[in-house]
Structures are given as structure tokens and as C-alpha cells.
Chain A
């Protein structure tokens, strides 16, 4: 009996040791940051900056953030950071430490890759998915930058191609409170271009300048063979949007790899060298065989008459 108890005890201690090892793969939270709150203003600039960093460094594993009650993703996918458990159970400081140090397992440490300010910006972006979280102090600016916000009704958005800078220019048109047509500043614009497998976003939330314009460089994005690209543009939440086919070049000729003489082509497209080789060899051999049959006839002609 005593021996049994000893056995059980040793088993438990071994289990604890193993679990201790597992515990080693755990979050490291710095004491001074444990209860820290967001150290930068919770404003649109920081949220947008955080979004860009999230898309570059976090999204590959954490994917799109969707607001849910509980984490709905299993390994190997990293948790959905929009889950309410994560949002309520972690202080800003804890999230900061988790980003900084990782957990020694799936989540890598980012402190050497993302600056301190950028880490706070990511947290600001993450917190924009929480409806219970409150910004640290009232002096921090609220979500929208009221001073910049345009008071009036946005009527239209149009796009055009600027061949000099090789860029797409979106122009926002609105009516102010007095009924005049104006080109508002600071309006968020989204632009995407139709590609083979879905639309390619080239601008996600840039704001219009003093003339109501947003200009996005195309770099060397190829148009279709006629020289056109299809551009979708929208303002803010997508109430006002437009689509346009813009001619950006004279077009180009697509060379179908099936058009040439290749091994993978149809019979009509047999490579010439192959056809010549095949026919030469085959016909030569058949000629020799034909000659052999002719010899049979010669033997027959030499018979006794």
C-alpha cells in the first residue's frame, strides 16, 4: 500500500515535471507592463498604421480578424484576434509583451523587427475590433479626426489614368451644406483593380488631398491585351462607388504557347525536327522492308519455268 502511494507520488511528480516543460512554452509578461494601457493616442493615424503592420507581419498566421465570442480557429492557424475572450482577458500591456517576446512556440518574438511604437500601433488596430475596450484617457483623440472630417454629402467618385506619373487618380466630388459642388479633403478612398483571381487592392483608406484627389502609382501592373484595366473605387463604407475601364497602354500581344511547334502541342504543331526525324526513320525502315519484300519477288522470278 505504502509502495503504491510512493508510486503514485512519483508518477505525479514526473507528470508535474513534464507539465513544467510544457509551461516553458508560455507567455512571458513583464511585471512593469502587466497593467499598462495603450501608450499612444487611440486615433485613426495609429489604427491605420497598425493595420499596415498587422497585414505585413501578423496576418500570415492570424488571418483576417473577425469579431466572434470564442476563438474559432484551430492549429496550425493562429487564433482569431477578434475573439472577445482575447480582447477582454488581455490588458494592452499583456498584448504588448506577447508581441514582443512571443511564447517560445508558435508565436515568434517581434521586438527586434517591430519598433515599440509600431507594436502599440498594432494594439490600437486590434482594439478597434473590441466594443468593450475603452481608450486609456479622454485626452486621446477619438476614432475619427473630427477636425478633418468633411461636413456635407459625398456625391461621386471618379477615376482617371495619369500617364505622366503612371498612376490612377481618384477624384471625390461632394455637395457642401450650401449646395455647392466641392472636392473635399480627408475622405478615405479605396481602389482596387480587377485581376484574374479577384480584385487587387492598390489603395486601402488613403485620404484625399486639398483638391479631393488620391493618386496611386501603378508601378508595372500589366493591363489586358487591349491596354485596359478595370478600376473599382469607393469612398469610405462603400455608399458611393464607381467602376471604370481605363486605357493605360496601347495593349500588347499575348503569345499563346500552344501556337508554336512544341512537344506539348497538338499534332499539327509537332516540332519540325521531330516530324522530320520520325518520318525519315520510319520511311527509311519501311523502304528497306519494302525492298526485302521485293527480293522475295526476285527469288520467285528465278524459279524453274
Chain B
């Protein structure tokens, strides 16, 4: 038996250079210090993405992307398909936890200044992954074709439609018409299962490759003696796996006690229900648009806020090039301060959406 396994390994090794990879993994070191806890969020994001892919593929067996059958197929998955409830709930819960983990991963990377050279491209690819996963969330939210997702998509795309000059074109492109319809669900499905997974595979591949080549960044200002180095394999991988297991148990508990709800089937002719809001990760933008004055210096408030978010996003992407001090391994309290302001803004605005819905 041992000989058989040995010969299989030798066969594969000679073709895939497995021993080279093992050697690389064993040689690769990961810094260990008082902030190294945050490193594990990258691995958690990867684990949740794998869960997304697996459960998404299984959902494709029964999901039908059309106005007449989308909601019914979800209902069928939840009530008739063996373990369908589990697959769908894991998909939905892990999608939400994944977005939260990406935000945590991004902010921890930001505050630890891990974006500084030579890891600018790692940061930029991570930024694009954040955008892609937000798009995954937006497109996936509509697919069950329930009342909440229908009207939230309507509201979301209406906001996109307010962008001067190109807004209407963007809205028409996203919706496949002037309003949410059968064309929209086909388009969102196409985006959700074909375009975004393809983009993710490419960018996530680049992101992981860069992390492997460049290794993990050590935070600025921590004395060298306080930084240990542990082998990537098996030490770091085993600890990472421990984190994955904790997340898996958390998802299991959520799925059993709070299976993801189906909601009422969307009725395009019904009045927009009160208190309609997008998924939680978009609510900070949603609340901002609600509280922004109608006009600021004769510019429409909503348009100004959208431009604000766009410029904010571009600045966030370009942080490695803007933070010159970090590039020189010097602390930059200004960037940390701005980071905290942005973080608190997102938290407060998200909380306000739920605490003061009538805002």
C-alpha cells in the first residue's frame, strides 16, 4: 500500500514538481508578532470563497433564472431538495460573512500599512476583489426574486441612474431595460455565475501569487526582536485551518437556527414597501444618500455624494502611492487617522440605517 502511494506521489511529483512546491512552502516564513492575528482573515476570505463556489455550483442544479420560476425554484430548494436548505443557507450566510471578512482584511491591511512597496499590486488586486465581491452580493441578492431584493435593486439602480451623463446608460445596461424585469434577472445571473467568477479567478490568482512571492508584510515600528518567523507549512497553514473550522461551525449554527429566508415573491405592480433598504454592506452609502442635502452649492446632493464615493474609492486604491512615509518605512498618523474616520463613518452610517430607519 505504502509502495503504491509512493509510486503515485513519484508519478505526480515528476509531472507537477510537488516536492518543489513542498520545499517552497516549508521554506516560506510568516512573521509572527502581536498583530499577526489579522493575517488569518486573508485565509478566512479564501475559505469562504471556496464555500461560495462549492455551494453555488450545487445551487445551479435546481435554480432557474426567470421571473416565473426563480422564486419557485428557491422555494423548491429550501423545502424539497435533500439538504437544499443547508446548501442555500451556507451560500447566503457565507456570502455575507465573506464581505465582512473582506472589509476586516482590508482595514487590517490598511492600518498595518501592508500596502507599502513592494506590495502595491497586492493591495490594488485586493481592492478590485472587494469591488467584485460587492458586485457578487448585489447581483446575487436579486436572484431569489423576492419583494425585498426586487425593490432594493430598483432603488440601487435608480441611484446609479442619477450619475450625470452616463447614469441612464449605466442603469439601462445593468437592468437590460428601463426597470427591473426578466431581462435583469438573466443579466444578473450571467454576471453572478459567469463574468464575476472568471474575473475573480484571474484577480484572486494574481493576489495569492503576489502574497506567496512577496510574503506577508511586517508592521512598521515593531522591533525586530519582537517579530518571530514561523514556517508557512505546516505552522501557519494549521493555524489557518483552525480559523476555518471555527468559521464553519459558526456558519453551521447560523444555518440551522436561522436558515436564509425566501421572502415573498416579487410583484412588480405592487407599491414599494416601506423601509426598503439594500444589503447591509451597501447601507452606509444608502444612508449617506438619504441624509445628504438636496443641493450643495447648486450641485445635486445625491450626485455629489456618488462622486464622493467614487473619488474615495479611487483614493483608497491609490493609497500605496499616496502614503509616501509608509513607502519609506515611516509611520504616517495622518493616513491612520483618515482610515479610522472612514471606518467609523461606515460603522455609524450602517448602524443608523437599522437604528433610525425613518431617517
The yes or no verdict on A and B being binding partners is no
Interface residues in chain A, defined as those with a beta carbon under 8 Å from any beta carbon in chain B: none
